[in-house]
Amino acid sequence: MKKKKEPLKYHIFQNITFLLKCIRREHPLLLIFIIMQVILSVISPVFGIYIPKITLDLVMGSADTAQIFLVLGGFGIVMVLSMALSGMANEGKYIMYNDMRRYYQMELFLQSLSCDYKNVESEEGQTKYQRAMSTLRNGDWSGTSIMIVSSIDIVVSLLCFFIYSGIMSSLSPYMVLLLIVLSLISLFGTRQAQSYEYKQNDLTAAYEKKLSYVIRTGSNAAFGKDMRLYHAGGWFQELRSSLIEESAKLAGKIQDRYFASGVVNAFVLFLRDGIAYSYLIYAVSAGQITIPEFTLYFGAVTAFSGFVNGIVNNLNELNGANLQMNSMRAFLDNTNDPEPETPLALSDLKEYSIEFCDVCFSYGTDTGFVLDHFNLKINAGEKIALVGVNGAGKTTVVKLLCGFYKPDSGIILIGGQDINNFRKKDLLKLYAAVFQDIYIPPFTAAENVSMQELKTTDRNRVEECLVKTGLWEQFCGQPTGIDTPMTKEITGGIVLSGGQQQKLLMARALYKDAPILILDEPTAALDPIAESRTYEQFHEIASDKTAVYISHRLASTRFCDKIAFLSNGKITEEGTHDELMQKGGAYSQMFALQSQYYQNKEVAAAYAEA
């Protein structure tokens, strides 16, 4: 069944108000320029249609040359000043519009960093972000710019519309009514095309996301060796071409709707202006209006048609911009789970035990439970390993513990307190983690350890952490020491090996000095011996802290106080390594299989060396 499109959360006026508030806060001068433009844009066209009539009245009224030049000169000076001030306002506005787009991009970026993790990890959250950013990627045609520019043009057109309506109503009120009705027909046609485009937004965002991933992966230097060795360049080119082709087909369907709308609008415009000009020619021929009045009404009809057409076009553009604005604000409005009304302080915790009490969790209504009535108790200072096959729910346990997601049912306790009773930023202070996905930004080694700016980094503490993790000598040999950038794209920068990266991440965890340490399969790419050494080193660093280890290699976690074996979202076995081996259950069987695999590899390696 096709998913029904949700109604828009914000209407046009609400989004205009939102943008004006942002402008008043970030660029108040822009509001002054906007007001100047509105006033000047109304004055100029009104003067423009009256000058020919006044000139003919003066000439036909036998006014002397000096009087004619005096009147026209006065009008000319006003027009020149108006155009000069309007040009100044337009130039100033253009620069500030660009600044405002950068401001909105920064707001989206900051929201992606601060909103709940579930809002950025899920496919829905990523699609929301793509749609939000696409609102700002078209320069002057971005939704935020169009909404302000079109709003200004509509205000100008409406003021001129009422002025010109008054002028034309003295000739024929029915003429005004006819022009309005035909313009509304034009508005309806364009709105239909925009509605179709909005319905395709999710599909458009999906193509953009996939194409961005293909381009980003294909140009990733880390993937360069595999790309060449396995001749994958052609495959990636085909993927890119296929996505571009599908995206172009969708864009073509959207443009077809706009083309049909454009044909209707052209016909309506021809009919509207044709009727108006024909009536004026008849009126002057029949002596119902004078020649000066004819020039006034002719100019008024021409301008009136332009203003009505401008209102219609700008309403259409405003409607399209409103759809984009709803996409941007949908991400800015990502609703975070509420903070507790009376939060507990971390100082209220007397110890750092962890307990999962009958926890159930799923990643969506269409998926089954990842954790199914899950129960686990970790005593303060205890070292526990969570092991099991892929998909057993080990990493999900960590996500729930950190508060990245909330359980569907059940509670999680830290020191006997429900973690929902702590503010999120306070809860995260309790954990130092090393995850499977290695994140080493292109900053200095010192900044990577502290995850802070250099000015707030304790350099002595960084050195101490690097010494404890066995990585200090690596930076002693560098000309810039711990100020060495962690990327070769910067002069003097370096890239660490896999094992060294793990040590850097351990130094980062050590620097934070949190009471609970988490190691979530960060050594999956290392060989068994290197992984075992890494875990043992981490165990030494953990000292009296509560620690959670996750690994798919059972031999790496034999030193733990307790091992919990997960299967189908539950703990099926729990105990020390020796206790679980004596039970002869799933843990024992998996350990035996892995041990046999490693022994066979060692024998093969020995033969190879011989």
- Among 607, 567, 131, 143, CA closest to 371: 567
Same domain? For 458 and 589 the reply is: no
3-state secondary structure of 404: coil
The verdict on 108 and 32 lying in the same domain is yes
**Nearest CA to 376 among 362, 391, 390, 396?**
396
Exposure class string for 72-100: b at 16+ Cβ within 10 A, else e: eeebeeeeeebeebbeebeebbeebbeeb
Closest CA to 143 of 29, 258, 265, 12: 12
3: tokens are 């998913």
| pLDDT recorded at residue 271 | 81
Cα–Cα distance, 276 to 281 (Å, whole number): 9
Residues, the chain: 610
Task: Indicate whether 239 and 308 sit together in one domain.
Answer: yes
How high is the pLDDT of residue 596? 75
Average of per-residue pLDDT across 111-135: 83
User: Based on the structure, what is the number of domains in the chain?
Assistant: 3
Bigger pLDDT: 395 vs 166: 395
Q: Are residues 129 and 278 in the same domain?
A: yes
Last residue of a domain, one of 332, 365, 396: 332
Classify residue 341: in a domain, yes or no: no
**pLDDT higher for 426 or 265?**
426
CATH classification of the domain holding 275:
1.20.1560.10
Helix intervals (H) in 389-527:
394-401, 424-428, 445-450, 459-468, 472-476, 498-512
DSSP character at residue 8: P
Q: Which amino acid is at 283?
A: A
Distance separating alpha carbons of residues 53 and 360, to the nearest angstrom: 81
One domain, residues 175 and 278: yes
Measured between alpha carbons, how far is 223 from 230 in angstroms, rounded to an integer?
11
Kindly report the three-state secondary structure assignment for every residue of 402-453: CCCCCCCEEEEEECCEEHHHECHHHHHCCEEEECCCCCCCCCEHHHHHHCCC
Q: What is the DSSP string of 325-370?
A: HHHHHHHHT--PPPPPSSPBPGGG-S---EEEEEEEE-SSTTS--S
Question: pLDDT grade, residue 411 (50/70/90)?
Answer: very high
Q: Which among 313-322, 335-344, 391-400 has the top mean pLDDT?
A: 391-400
Q: What is the average pLDDT across 208-223?
A: 76
SS (HEC) of 195-232: HHHHHCHHHHHHHHHHHHHHHHHHCCHHHHHHHHHCCC
Looking at the fold, whether 141 and 237 belong to one and the same domain comes out as: yes
Q: Are residues 228 and 254 in the same domain?
A: yes
pLDDT tier at 161, thresholds 50, 70, 90: confident
Of 87-91, 185-189, 227-231, 361-365, least confident by mean pLDDT is: 227-231
Residue type, 397: V
132 vs 365, residue with greater confidence = 132
- 448-504 per-position pLDDT tens digit: 999 998 899 999 999 999 998 888 999 988 999 999 999 888 888 998 887 788 889
Confirm if 528 and 499 have CB atoms less than 8 A apart: no
Can you give the residue range of the structural domain that contains 373? 346-436+514-609
For residue 1, is pLDDT > 50?
Answer: no
Q: Average pLDDT in the 14-25 region?
A: 93
Same domain for 557 and 454 = no
* Residue 164 and residue 242 in one domain: yes
522 — pLDDT class (breaks 50, 70, 90):
low
CATH number of the CATH domain containing 368: 3.40.50.300
442, 446, 511: which is closest to 480 by C-alpha?
446
Residues 455 and 521 placed together within one structural domain of the fold: no
Residues contacting residue 570 through CB under 8 Å, at least 6 positions apart? 371, 372, 373, 374
Contacts (Cβ under 8 Å, ≥6 apart) of 279: 172, 175
pLDDT of the residue at 35: 87
pLDDT value of residue 484: 94
Give yes or no: residues 269 and 165 share one domain. Answer: yes
The answer to whether residue 509 sits within a structural domain is: no
Q: Domain for residue 291, yes or no? A: yes
Q: Tell me if 278 sits within 8 A of 271, measured CB to CB.
A: no
Can you name the residues that pair with 547 across neighbouring β-strands?
383, 517
Residues 123 and 155 in one domain: yes
Q: How far apart are CA 293 and CA 296, in angstroms?
A: 5
How do residues 586-606 score in pLDDT, each as one tens digit?
999 988 887 776 555 544 444
610/252: higher pLDDT:
252
Residue 88: alpha-carbon gap to chain centroid = 34
Query: For a pLDDT cut of 90, what percent of the chain falls above it?
Result: 27
**Quick check: 267 pLDDT over 80?**
yes
CB atoms within 10 A of CB 188: 12
13 confidence band (pLDDT: 50, 70, 90)? very high
Does residue 430 lie in a domain region?
yes
pLDDT (0 to 100) of residue 230: 62
What would the mean pLDDT of 4-12 be, rounded to a whole number? 77
Residue 107 lies in a domain: yes
pLDDT, residue 605, reads: 44
